[in-house]
Structure 1
Amino acid sequence: MTLGPGRWAKVAVAALTAAAMTGGIACKKPDPSMKDAVAEERDAGAPVATKFTKVTEEKMPPRLEVTGTLDPDERSEVAAQTNGTVTAVNIDIGSIVKKGDILVDLDPREASMKLDVANATAASQRARLGLKGANKFEADGVADVKMAREAAELAKTDFERTKMLYEQGAISKAQFDQAKTNKERADAAYDSARNGAEQAFVSLLASQSQAGLSSKSLDDTKIRAPFDGTIESKRIAPGEFAAMGKVVAVLVRDNPLRFKFEVPEAQTALVNLGSKIDIRVAAHPDKIFKGEVKRVGASVRANTRTMPVEAEVANTDRLLKSGYFARGSVELAGELRPVLLVPKNALIPTGGGSRIFVKKGDKVEERLVSTGAAQGDLIEVTGRLTAGDEVAVENVSSLADGIAIAN
């Protein structure tokens, strides 16, 4: 059968209408009441086996909540102490090093040759002075000086004998004058020999000093870590020329770290050296790091009316990084206050705090709490809890608000 133009248009409209209705049905959103029903079915699921422990109350020191930054205990821009071409770089960003570890090697050949020359010069001068081992220098012990001294003593003896004979009229004045001249020449030669030996010893000391400097220059071709820490940045590569003073790496001492924060003027008298502090960072929200106040500012800042304080935080496992923003809870001097404590394993961290499940008859009820200072396996909590409440400590990740407890 052949369809005319009018019939084709009607067929097309009918097809589009059917498609639109089908698509509408397919894209229709689920009924909210159905979603709630599914959630209720899940929450009312099979009972979960768990164990409970009671919330306890203890008296603890008052605390101040603070924020601040973690900084390295030390930061050093490690620089070359001598000139040289880099032959090896033994570290990279994040490398953990010990004091004395070689970070960068410089070409040692020139320094080694200078040391050899200085040592050879010093050895030659010691030999000239007759010094062996740890012999102490004495000018009269030098061979040339010893010969000059003996000649001077002989000339003196001859002069004294000649003088006596001259006074007796046994010899002429010319003979006397010659003996006197010989004595004066011998004395001058002895003095000259002593001066020469002493100058030679001074030269030896200078050569030994030069040898020491050359030895240091050779040692300086190995650029070492000044303390234990972590490499923050590397600033040189093999083949580059390192001039004296060129920074080759930045090293930070990151164990311990310094937590720097500010204390309001009103609480400055309550924060003391040795005050304990608990630290939290976003990178490890479920972990508390322990610290102790080590430095308290000498004055309050006029613009903020706060006092700078620094605490040291152990970082043996290096979970903390320099530059982290941190929140702290520092103990204050003053009367003890009652706090609620629960086991740490009773908590499930959330974005704004922690969840905890309290026993209510044969079911559990979810509560939101905030955490405070830790005391061993227990942690301080604030929220809708009272001492004696029973909180779940096993299978807590399987619990939900209103779920039944398995017998």
Structure 2
Amino acid sequence: MKKLLISMIMMATAIYAEEVYATFQVEADKSAELAFSSSGIVNKVHIDVGSIVKKDDVLASLENSDLKAMLESAQAAEKYAKKDFDRQQKVKQVIDQAQFDQYAYKYENAKAQAAYQKALFEKTVLKAPFDGVIFKKMVEEGDVVSGAMIRTILMIQSLHERKLILTFDQKYHATVKVGDLFKYKVDGDDNLYEGKIIKIYPALDIDKRKVIAEVEAKDLMVGLFGEGMIITNEK
């Protein structure tokens, strides 16, 4: 297959000065392992493997009725502390400065407490960090999670955006440049694709003595591999 591929691409790109053989593996452009940073019982899981989500969609939540009540109480305290502070501001010129400062302190303290309770509450809600698709799920409703022993419960990857992780011989490290064309075939697929190199890693793969680069791609299955030719030095 390698000889046939090289021959086909060389014939199709005869106007180019040099072709560099490279192999690749397909990876998602973005991927993340998601976990709760708080302890508790999983109350609701809103997604499953294959679910398509948008950034900030709620994926799962812990039992948080106690924290919700504390947040509402803190927000109410902030609301009334602000009313008191606003009233004192209107008569600031005719009251003692120390008395005014006490109202200002109470309001600032109430704001801080409300912000703190909100932060605690939000730790019980797991949201999508970007648009994508859930490709692994390791949690069910009723499971216990611990913030002290954080474990991955969901894995997400970009829905369409992919990157090819290329490796090619180190002797071409000065020849291949960002922007060079890459023509390639995916194993088991007779179609010929092409893309441009968007990144060249600054360090070699020490074990294989290979240069590593990236090429943008779309909609290929993560984990596939293939081979192709980098077209350099266009005449």
TM over 0.5: yes
Pick from 106, 113, 119: which aligns with 2:75? 119
Which 4+ residue blocks in structure 1 deviate beyond 6 angstroms? none
Mean Cα displacement is larger for which, 227-236 or 77-86? Answer: 77-86
- In structure 1, how many angstroms separate the alpha carbons of the residues matched to 2:151 and 2:112? 25
Residue number in structure 1 paired with 2:225: 325
Find the aligned partners of 2:213 and 2:224 in 1 and give their Cα distance. 17
Instruction: Calculate the TM-score normalised by the size of structure 1.
Output: 0.48
* In 2, Cα distance between equivalents of 1:213 and 1:279: 53
**TM-superposition CA deviations, 1:235-281 (whole Å, max 9, x none):** 21101233344432011225322211222233223311111223322
Deviations 1:158-186 (A, max 9, x none): xxxxxxxxxxxxxxxxxxxxxxxxxxxxx
Change (3 A) 1:127 1:228: closer
Q: How far apart, CA to CA, are the structure 1 residues paired with 2:204 and 2:37?
A: 41
Find the aligned partners of 2:213 and 2:84 in 1 and give their Cα distance. Answer: 64
> Is residue 2:113 matched to residue 1:210?
yes
Of 170, 183, 204, 1:278 maps to 183
**Following the alignment from structure 1 to structure 2, what is the Cα–Cα distance between the partners of residues 206 and 324?**
55
Distance 1:57 1:286, change over 3 A: closer
Overall identity of the aligned pairs, in %? 21
SS in 2 for 1:270: coil
TM-score, with normalisation over the residues of structure 2? 0.79
Specify whether residues 333 and 280 from structure 1 end up closer, same or farther in structure 2 by C-alpha distance, changes over 3 A only.
same
Are 1:60 and 2:15 counterparts?
Answer: yes
Give the Cα separation in 1 of the matches to 2:210 and 2:13. Answer: 31
Residue type at the aligned position of 2:53:
V
Q: Counterpart in 2 of 1:308?
A: 212
The count of aligned residue pairs is 222
- Where 1:332 maps in the other structure, the secondary structure is strand
Aligned equivalents of 1:123 and 1:206: distance in 2?
Answer: 12
Larger Rg: 1
Structure 2 unaligned regions, length at least 5:
1-10
Q: CA-to-partner distance for each residue in 1:164-212, whole Å, 9 max, x for gaps?
A: xxxxxxxxxxxxxxxxxxxxxxxxxx4xxx2243133123212112212
Within 2, Cα distance between the matches of 1:252 and 1:60?
38
Q: 1:313 to 1:213 in 2, by over 3 A?
A: same
5+ long unaligned stretches in structure 1? 1-55, 150-189, 336-407
Change beyond 3 A, Cα 1:112–1:300: closer
Cα 1:287–1:122 shift into 2, 3 Å: same
Mapped to 2, the partners of 1:286 and 1:243 lie a distance apart of 48
- Post-superposition Cα deviations, 1:109-139, rounded to whole Å, max 9, x if no partner, equal 222201121022223323433x16xxxx74x
TM-superposed CA distance for 1:60, in Å, is 3.3
Query: Whose helix proportion is higher, 1 or 2?
Result: 1
User: 1:70 maps to which residue?
Assistant: 26
Change (3 A) 1:124 1:101: closer
CA contact (8 A) 1:289 1:313 kept: no
2:232 and 2:56 mapped to 1: Cα distance?
A: 41
Aligned-partner residue type, residue 165 of structure 2: K
Q: Higher relative CO (CA 8 A, sep ≥ 6), structure 1 or 2?
A: 2
Which of 194, 197, 202 is the aligned partner of 1:298? 202
2:50 alignment partner, SS class: coil
SS at match of 2:161: strand
Q: Which residue of 2 aligns with 1:46?
A: none
Number of the residue aligned with 1:179 = none
